[in-house]
Amino acid sequence: MNTKYVTGLILVAIGGATVWFYLNDLQFQSAEKQQPSEDDQILTIAEPFGKNPMFGPLYESADKEYGTLIRFLASKLESYGIKEGKFIAVENSYEASLLLRQGKLDIYVDSPFPAYIVAKLTGAEPLVNRWKRGQEKYHSNIFVKKSSAIKTLDDLKGKMMVFDKPDSTSAYFLPKAELIKRGYKMTQKSGPRDSTSLDEIGYYFAGSDVKAMEDMQNGVAAASAQNDADFKTLAGDQAGDYRFIFSTVDVFRHVLVLRPGIDPKLKETIKQILLDMDKDPEGQKVLNDHKKTKKFEEFKPSVAEAFRGIAELSSLVEKEIIGQ
C-alpha cells in the first residue's frame, strides 16, 4: 500500500477525532452554561436593617417575616430552577442598590420614598404595593401641642422639630419634602438646644419614635411628624393633647421592587403569585404572618402614573435617601 496514502488516512482520522472531541467539548460547555448557577437557584429578598446586630432578636423577627414570604414564592417557582428562598439583611438603601445592580438581590422591600429612589437609580421596577398592616396608603401629620401658639406652617420658622430617624418615609422624608416643596428652609441640628434662626425650621433626630413623642410631651421640641396609625399608638390616651397643623399627600404603604434584568416570564409569574396570595388559604396565612399584610396590589393605571406624586417629592430628598 502507498505509504503517503496510509499517512493521509491516519491524519484524516486524527483530524476527525480532534474535531469530534472539540465539538463534544463545546456541547458540554454549552450544557454547563445552560445549567443555573447556585446563586440563580436562590430567590432573595431584603429590607433595610440599619446597623442592628445580625442574628439578634430584630434579625430573627425580620427573617421570620420575610423568610416566610420568600420561601412561599420559591416553592411556586421550581419550574424556573429556583430551589430556595432567602432573606438578606441590608444596612440601607445604598447597599440594596449595589446588590440589585450586581444581580445578587432579587426583591427589595421598603417604604415608598427609598423604594422609588432605589428603583430609579438601579433600573429596577416597583412591582406591587404591599398592604402592610391592612393599609393601602398612608400619610404623615405634622402635629404640635394643643396649647401651642403654632397654628400654621409659617409659625414653624424659628422653631425646632423632632423627627424619629433619618430613614423613615412617614416620620421624616415625606413631611420634610412637603415643607421644602413649599419653600421652607430645613436645617438639621445636633440636638434640641441648638439655636434656630427666624428664616429656617430646625430639626433633630430623636433616634426612635418613642423618644420623639417623649420630647413632644415634655416640650423639648415644638413640633413633630408621624403617620396616623403610629401617632395613635404612640400618643395613646394623650392623643387629645395634640393637634395637626398639616397633613401630607397619601403615599403607598410598602413597595416591592424587582431587580433589573430578571427574565420577563419569571417577573410576571412572581407578580401574579403575589397578586393571588389573598385568594387561597396558604397564601392568606403567609400574608398574615407577614405583619398582617392584607394583600399585594398592582400599580394602576401604570407605575409611572401611580408614582407621579412620590417622584416629585422624593426628588427633593433623594441625596439623603441614597446617602444614608
Any idea what the CATH number is for the domain that residue 294 is in? 3.40.190.10
Q: In this predicted structure, what is the pLDDT of residue 33?
A: 44
Q: In this predicted structure, what is the pLDDT of residue 57?
A: 80
Does the pLDDT of residue 285 top 60, yes or no?
yes
Average pLDDT in the chain = 89
Question: Which residues fall within 8 angstroms of residue 16, CB to CB, at 6 or more apart?
Answer: none
Compute the average pLDDT of residues 35-43: 69
Amino acid at 243: R
Q: Are residues 227 and 164 in the same domain?
A: yes
* pLDDT tens, position by position, 225-242: 999 999 999 999 999 999
Does the pLDDT of residue 35 top 50, yes or no?
no
Q: In this predicted structure, what is the pLDDT of residue 30?
A: 41
Compute the average pLDDT of residues 20-29: 44
DSSP states of 291-321: TS---EE--SS-HHHHTHHHHHHHTTSHHHH
Q: In this predicted structure, what is the pLDDT of residue 17?
A: 46
Q: Are residues 241 and 150 in the same domain?
A: yes
Cα–Cα distance, 184 to 195 (Å, whole number): 17
Q: Are residues 49 and 102 in the same domain?
A: yes
Does the pLDDT of residue 318 top 60, yes or no?
yes
Compute the average pLDDT of residues 105-134: 95
Does the pLDDT of residue 83 top 70, yes or no?
yes
Whether 239 maps to a domain, the answer reads yes
Does the pLDDT of residue 1 top 60, yes or no?
no
Question: Which residues fall within 8 angstroms of residue 51, CB to CB, at 6 or more apart?
Answer: 91
Question: Which residues fall within 8 angstroms of residue 141, CB to CB, at 6 or more apart?
Answer: 225, 226, 227, 228, 231, 244, 246, 247, 248
Q: Are residues 150 and 220 in the same domain?
A: yes
Partners of residue 143 on adjacent β-strands = 224, 244
Q: Beta strand pairing status for 186-188 and 140-145?
A: unpaired
* pLDDT tens, position by position, 212-228: 999 999 999 999 999 99
Query: At CB < 8 A and 24+ separation, what contacts does 177-180 make?
Result: 177/113, 177/313, 177/314, 177/316, 177/317, 178/140, 178/246, 178/248, 178/249, 178/313, 179/153, 180/316, 180/317
Percent of the chain with pLDDT over 70: 86
Does the pLDDT of residue 10 top 50, yes or no?
no
Residue 241 burial (CB count, 10 A):
13
Q: What angle do CA 175, 173, 188 make, to 5 degrees?
A: 90
Compute the average pLDDT of residues 83-99: 92
Whether 213 maps to a domain, the answer reads yes
Q: Are residues 242 and 144 in the same domain?
A: yes
Does the pLDDT of residue 184 top 50, yes or no?
yes
Q: Which of 219, 248, 277 is the last residue of a domain?
A: 248
With the C-alpha atoms ordered 210, 216, 221, 223, is the resulting torsion angle positive or negative?
positive
Does the pLDDT of residue 127 top 70, yes or no?
yes
- How many helices (DSSP H) and strands (DSSP E) are in the chain? 12, 14
Count the domains in the chain: 2
Q: In this predicted structure, what is the pLDDT of residue 31?
A: 40
User: Is pLDDT larger for residue 36 or for residue 261?
Assistant: 261
Q: Which of 248, 266, 284 is the last residue of a domain?
A: 248
Whether 128 maps to a domain, the answer reads yes
Amino acid at 26: L
Q: Which of 248, 269, 286 is the last residue of a domain?
A: 248
Amino acid at 261: G
In the structure grid, which three cell numbers stand for residue 323, read together?
446617602
User: Is pLDDT larger for residue 12 or for residue 51?
Assistant: 51
- pLDDT band per the 50, 70, 90 thresholds, residue 12: very low
Residue-range definition of the domain harbouring residue 216:
140-248
Q: Are residues 110 and 148 in the same domain?
A: no
Q: In this predicted structure, what is the pLDDT of residue 191?
A: 97
Q: In this predicted structure, what is the pLDDT of residue 18?
A: 47
Does the pLDDT of residue 324 top 90, yes or no?
no
Q: In this predicted structure, what is the pLDDT of residue 307?
A: 95
Q: Are residues 226 and 151 in the same domain?
A: yes
